[in-house]
Each structure stands twice: as C-alpha cells, then as structure tokens.
Structure 1
Amino acid sequence: MSRCSVPDRRGAAVAGLACLLLLAVCDRTLASEGIVVGAPRVLLNGQTLDVTWDEITNAPLTVSAVGSDLLVVKGIEGMGRGEVQDIGTLLVNKYRQLLRVRPEHLVLRKAEKSGGSWFLSYRQTVRGLAVYDSSLGFSIDPEGRVRSLGAILYPDARVSAGSRLDRAQALKIARAKLRDTDELDHEVSAESVAIYPERRAGAVEYHRVYIFNFFARKETHPGSVANGRAIFVDGSTGRILKSQPLFKPLGCCLPVDWTPEELKR
C-alpha cells in the first residue's frame, strides 16, 4: 500500500491528511534551502533560476539559469556515450536541493549525438523499480553548455517491498480485461513490475504494479494502427489502474524503451 493510498472510506480522511503533511514537510525542506515552492524565480547557491512547478508533487518541471548555464562540461568534443552518461549525475548533484532526487535513482534511457550536441534522458527508479512516466532530460551543446533541463519527477515515490498478488494472479486479472476489449487473441510480449503514480484529488498515490504488454498473435490488417494493449494491475489490490492501446507507430512497449526479442528481429 502506498504512503498516500486511500484503502476505504474510514481511512480516506487520514490518508488525505497524510498526503498534505508530506507536502508540508516538502515545503519546509525547500524553504530551509531558501526555495519558495511555486515561485517562478528562485535563488540557489548564488545562482538565479527560472523554474516551473508540478502543482501536485511540488517538483520542478523545467529549470533554466538566468544569465548563466546550469552546467559547463569541459572536453565534451572528445567524449563518447560512456562518459557523457555520467553528466546526469553531476547535474542532479548540483541541483539536488531543488530536484529532491538522488542521482543513483536515475537510470539512463537514451544518449544520442546530433549536430555536435548530446541529448540525454533518464528515468527515475525507487528500490530498483522504474517510476512510470518519470523522466529527466537535457541537452549539451558543442561548447559543453547545459542551459536547461526538463523533468517529471516524484520525490515522494514509495512502495511496499513486495506484492500481495503473484504474477499468475495478476496475469489472470489482465487477461480478464482483454475479454472486455475483445482482444482475446493477444499474448504477452513484454512485462515488468514498476511504480505507477496515480494522480487524484490533488495528491499522488503510488502503486506497485504489474505491467503486461499484449500483442495480437497474428498480424492485424496492414492499415490498422492499434496492435496491442498495455494493462497495469495493482499488485496489492488487483485493481486495473490503467489500460491503453499500443500503437504501431509508437512501437512496443510500456515503458517505451522495452523491446521484446521477437520484435527486434
């Protein structure tokens, strides 16, 4: 059960108060660093920053430096992917008070070079589990300058160490959902356990979920764009938290960087 989950009506008020207390603690922590949550401009370590905020998590969505750079990387022209991927650690460490995530909780998703610039993106993890829909991304220009970053982060993300339901039970629930969508010809192509942040009533509930990616056993009509379905099953309650089509143009799967072996060939 998540820290901000609402198990029943009797516990709703208590859980809601707990969520508000977590946000209050967050506000006090940032305030101790001289950071005002929601302020469009903040001062951190003598540097002025323009910031946009997530109104629910109080985490920054975008950060850019006023009249300077967030980071300057020397020798960028001679770096390869293995060296560039560690720059995210330097950036997160420098702005850790603002981002409120630890660098070891960010896993590299992509590092690509184009036109002399590097483009990097990371995913947030907690206890080794990916936080669904989380991201941190930035670019490094040919002079080694990082001018801004964009992020979807969940600093308060927490889940239980294990699930009440085992994989077989969760898969049975997911297949039952396929009957509702008339997709019984689908089979599992990829799966994982992750943290799903459910936004509701001004707060976020964090769920440990099974994510099953189903695709049709036989090729669908060439003109069809929908080719599969991703189903998120709460590992504690068995509730379907999310069900959505997977489209051919977007590839497989959720998270987007999963690629089943049979689809690589």
Structure 2
Amino acid sequence: MARDTLHGLRSSPRRAPAKPARPIDADAAERIAAVMGRLSDADPDPKAGFDDTDPFRLLVTVLLSAQSTGPTVARIAEALFSAVRDPAGMLELGEARITEIIRPVGLGPSKARNIVKLSAALISEFGGTVPRSAIEMRRLPGIGRKSAEVTANFAFREPVIAVDTHVFRVSNRIPLAPGATVDAVADGLAHRVPERFKDGAHVWLFRHGRDTCTARKPGCARCLVSDLCTWSGKAI
C-alpha cells in the first residue's frame, strides 16, 4: 500500500477501515455526530505517522500544495528543506534559488515570493517562530484560511476544520455543513461538528472525499455513512 499523502505531508501506512455501524434514524445534529463517529471509529488515529514537529516546514509545505499533487509536493518539500531549516535560512537561500527548487509544484515564482515574504514576516513579527493560532497565521503573506487551519490543527492541535476541495464536496453532499463558499462550509463545520471530533475532522473528511465520496463515480456502495447521507445523486 502506498503511503498516504495529504497536502504534501506523508504518513506511514494506515489500518484497514472498520465495518459500517448499524443504520440509525436521527435529526441533523445527531446525524452529523453519527457520521463523524463512524469516520472516527474507522480511523481512530488519523494523524498517525505525520511529521508535525516543525510548524515552519508544515506551513511552507501546505503553501506549496496549492494546485499541486501531494506526492510531488512531498518530494519538493524534502528537497527544499534539505537546503534550509528556518525562516532565516530561507531568506538566505533567496527567492531565485527557491523558485528553482519548487518549480515542479507549479506557480513556482509566486509561491517562492510568498515563502520569502512570510519568512521575513515571521522574523519581524513573531520572532522567527510560527504563531500558534490560525487567525494569526492568516496575517502572513500567501497564507489563506485553509493553509492556516491545516497548520494550526496539525502543528498545534487547534480544533479548526480546514476546508479543501474534498472537504467542501463531502460537507455539501451528505450534507454536514452545506454552503456555496469555502468560508460558509468552514463556518458551518465549526458550528456543527461536536468538539470531540474537531481535531481529526479535516483528515477524516479529506480522506473520505479523496477515497470514497469522489467527484466522479463515488463509492456509495462501500461508504461507511451511506445510510446517513441524503445526497440525491447517491448510487447504491
């Protein structure tokens, strides 16, 4: 089994999912809790194997992952961080060399420029360390809500649920927190998902959207939560 790659972060191999629980009848709040409970039971340690010890590397890796595939980002992040370890080192490396290294991930010049700017901002505003909250991270150049919330959740266990394409799709389909925009879905998940599930929610929903509730030909027949899903396009 290939190693799981999420936003350019690599993990060790994961356990096989648990069998689906019995169907239940529930109102919206109970249904959301039931969905998250089943995903949790199937993957009780969703962040196992991920390297979350270096918030700066994590933040830069998530920035690199925009419009790029996970395996490519993981490879390029490894190359970049074999040459540099911290914001000061990134400034010393320089925008031109950073661009050369990260070119395969796409949007290289723009991402390199933001990496240099956020490194300078970390030094000038935060003493060279990544701030612990998603709200503070969003003050950094090139760091939007998703990048900030992924980093805050993985590095500092802030109970925020980042919304990417997969999470957006799943949240609207089941639905968990329907919304026309990423911010609307993120705000809805923050309000509706029980606190006990928030730490792992992003990973569970990301994997569910990537592996089962895919954009094309979703695997409804093998879905752990198909009986809790009200999507009109469900095929079972």
TM-score range, shorter chain: under 0.3
Structure (1 or 2) with the greater strand fraction: 1
TM-score (norm 1): 0.24
Structure (1 or 2) with the greater helix fraction: 2
Task: For CA contacts below 8 A with separation 6 or more, give which structure has more relative contact order.
Answer: 2
TM-score (norm 2): 0.26
* Bigger Rg over Cα: 1
